[in-house]
Amino acid sequence: MGRKGGGKAGFMKAQMRQKEEVSPPEQDTGPEEAHPATSTPGTTQKEESTSTTSAKASAFLVDDGPEESVGERPSVSCGGETRGKMLQRHKREAKSLKEQVKRLGKKGREEAAALQQALDAAHQQDLEAMARAEEESMSQGMESLALGPGAAPPGGEALKPTKAQRKRQQRAAAEAEREARIAAELADADDSLRVQEEEAMSSTLGPLGLAIHEIAPDGHCLYRALEHQLDLQDGSGAASFQELRRLAAEHMRTHANDFSPYIAEDDVTGPVEDGEVFEAYCKEVESTAAWGGHLELQALSQALGKPIKVWAAAAAPQLLGDEHPGPALQICYLHHAYGLGEHYNSLVRVVKEESEGAASVSGDE
């Protein structure tokens, strides 16, 4: 998939992504603070240090919004917080933690690691609680439908539901129907966008004798797509996607003046040490599954000495490195291919055999 953000000069992002209005994040208190650890007789200095770090970690997990009482926070088990709101809160907490880690500096590396671990654990607990709540809600709904109002439970006598119970059942049924309708509409909308994009891409590539070669959506899709193109042109094993990542990062470092102006701190997903945003970005390019984009394509075109042509459904094809000789490495950019959005695939040439009505693929330009 393509890097979300991917530098300020991202060509596909500039041409394809529509501006979305973002509503202000809802205030949330974040996970509850843990009680400070107290020292007991026999406790070692190392254990006391660990306890202190854990207490600080819990304190950093509180969201930076206005303070609310514990009772005001929606209970996941009671359905007070939807999954969407929970994920929004997680994002705010992660951003807040990133700012806290930046203030700690080099001396606070161990504490920063503890903070991150505590936040990940708290988020995992939230997700598990949400999954249990959803499962329980579904189970209760199925049981209610199976028994019906006033039906007798196993081994018991038929009970007439009270007026309050009937109202609760009616509200629950109406809410379940509404949620199901919204989910279906969202699914249809997403599928519609994906289908429309695929049809537009096929209508563009088909007359040119080109077809899509699927690449796994694992965060390395841009590099894997170029790896496939290099295999088609130069033979199998020309360069692995890991080697392409290292090559892109090294080229960006040696040509920092060409790339660093287009990289902001928001483009780095991990902590930034001593304000070294550009170096942190390069490290993510070479050693993580961070998504690639326009900057990485530029770096690889220059480092490989090959032109790269990027096809898209809603924009004219973009050719990078047209000063280099030889056929271009051809990939395509899809904005709605998967749930996470942006994705890169490789392209192959389709050669039709009229006598048999079959088709074969070729990597030639």
**Cα separation values, 248 from 13, 153, 259, 298, 318, Å:** 20, 66, 11, 9, 19
Q: What is the pLDDT of residues 269-285, one digit of tens each?
A: 888 887 799 999 999 99
- Whether residue 193 is predicted with pLDDT greater than 50 in this model: the reply is yes
The more confident residue out of 113 and 232 is 232
Spatial CA neighbour of 307 closest among 328, 293, 283: 328
Residue 282 makes CB contacts below 8 A (sequence gap 6+) with: 249, 252, 253
63, 90, 126, 221: the active-site residue: 221
* Confidence (pLDDT) at 2: 47
**Cα separation values, 178 from 75, 171, 182, 212, 360, Å:** 21, 10, 6, 38, 48
- Whether residue 222 is predicted with pLDDT greater than 90 in this model: the reply is yes
The more confident residue out of 234 and 228 is 228
* Confidence (pLDDT) at 309: 96
Whether 344 contacts 223, CB under 8 Å = no
Spatial CA neighbour of 74 closest among 66, 65, 85: 85
* Confidence (pLDDT) at 207: 92
**Rounded average pLDDT over 303-315:** 93
* Confidence (pLDDT) at 221: 93
* Confidence (pLDDT) at 159: 64
Active-site residue flag, 218: yes
Whether 227 contacts 244, CB under 8 Å = yes
Whether 187 contacts 195, CB under 8 Å = no
* Rounded-to-integer distance, Cα 2 and Cα 344, Å: 7
Identify the DSSP state of 238.
S
Please give the model's pTM, rounded to 2 decimal places: 0.48
- Cβ burial of 144 (10 Å; 0-12, 13-18, 19+) is middle
The more confident residue out of 127 and 192 is 127
- Whether residue 358 is predicted with pLDDT greater than 60 in this model: the reply is no
- Whether residue 227 is predicted with pLDDT greater than 50 in this model: the reply is yes
Tokens read off for 161: 């539901």
Q: What is the pLDDT of residues 135-160, one digit of tens each?
A: 777 776 666 555 555 555 555 555 67
* Confidence (pLDDT) at 240: 93
* Confidence (pLDDT) at 331: 96
Q: What DSSP line would sit under 127-147, residue for residue?
A: HHHHHHHHHHHHHHHHHHHHH
* Confidence (pLDDT) at 22: 40
Domain ranges of the chain: 28-145, 194-362
Q: Which of 113-127, 170-184, 214-228, 328-342 has the highest mean pLDDT?
A: 214-228
**Cα separation values, 357 from 203, 204, 353, 360, Å:** 20, 22, 6, 10
pLDDT bracket for residue 348 (50, 70, 90): very high
For the chain, first and last CA: distance in Å?
A: 24
Domain 194-362 carries which CATH code?
3.90.70.80
Active-site residue flag, 332: no
Tokens 């309050």, residue located: 164
Identify the DSSP state of 261.
G
**Cα separation values, 184 from 179, 181, 206, Å:** 9, 5, 32
Beta bridge partners of 341: 338
123, 294, 336, 343: the active-site residue: 343
**Cα separation values, 279 from 4, 91, 151, 256, 292, Å:** 18, 24, 67, 10, 16
Tokens 């304190």, residue located: 59
190, 191, 218, 274: the active-site residue: 218
Q: What DSSP line would sit under 206-225, residue for residue?
A: GGGTEEEE----SS-HHHHH
Whether 252 contacts 295, CB under 8 Å = yes
Q: From the CB of residue 93, how many other CB atoms can be counted at a distance below 10 Å?
A: 22
Spatial CA neighbour of 247 closest among 264, 266, 222: 222
Amino acid present at 266: D
Q: What are phi and psi of 318, to 5 degrees?
A: -105, 130
**Rounded average pLDDT over 245-257:** 96
**Cα separation values, 133 from 169, 181, 351, Å:** 17, 20, 53
Active-site residue flag, 251: no
Q: What is the pLDDT of residues 49-94, one digit of tens each?
A: 445 544 554 444 444 444 333 333 334 444 567 887 888 888 888 8
